[in-house]
Amino acid sequence: MQRSHITAFVAGLIFGVGLILAGMANPAKVLAFLDLAGNWDPSLALVMGGAIPVSAIGFYLVRYRATPLCGSSFQVPSNRQLDKRLVLGALGFGVGWGLAGFCPGPALVALGTGSLKAVVFVAAMLSGMLIFEVMEKRKST
């Protein structure tokens, strides 16, 4: 097994365990966080608030390295435009998150718990990705 595969596995494992410990894989907790008018649970704000500085440090350090430790190149987004596709995608993501209580990472983690809701969400997510790919290919031909 390559070093990059081991690193990816360990990083994914740490991320998954962190999502479980933080409650992000529990849709009821996520929906309580999103319910500002009802029984609001602000604890996930601390999780998200903690993720921002960690991510910011990572993006800062990328500027001082030519290549990553375990890969051939960095995959840093370069597009800074707010366009219709980005806004509609963000709205769709937010609506899906608010309805289901899952976003993609925690939904994949919740699959490991045997949650039927996670299975349905991931199936819908994969279907949406497939539909997008088919539409993009049709648009380019």
The answer to whether residues 44 and 33 touch, using CB atoms and an 8 Å cutoff, is yes
* 23 — pLDDT class (breaks 50, 70, 90): confident
Q: Is 103 exposed, middle or buried (0-12, 13-18, 19+ CB in 10 A)?
A: middle
Tell me the pLDDT of the chain averaged across its residues: 88
What pLDDT score was predicted for residue 91? 92
Q: What is the mean pLDDT of residues 122-141?
A: 91
Q: Which residue has the higher pLDDT, 3 or 65?
A: 65
Q: Where are the domains positioned within the chain?
A: 3-140
What pLDDT score was predicted for residue 77? 80
Query: What percentage of the chain's residues is helix, strand, coil (to nearest 5)?
Result: 70, 0, 30
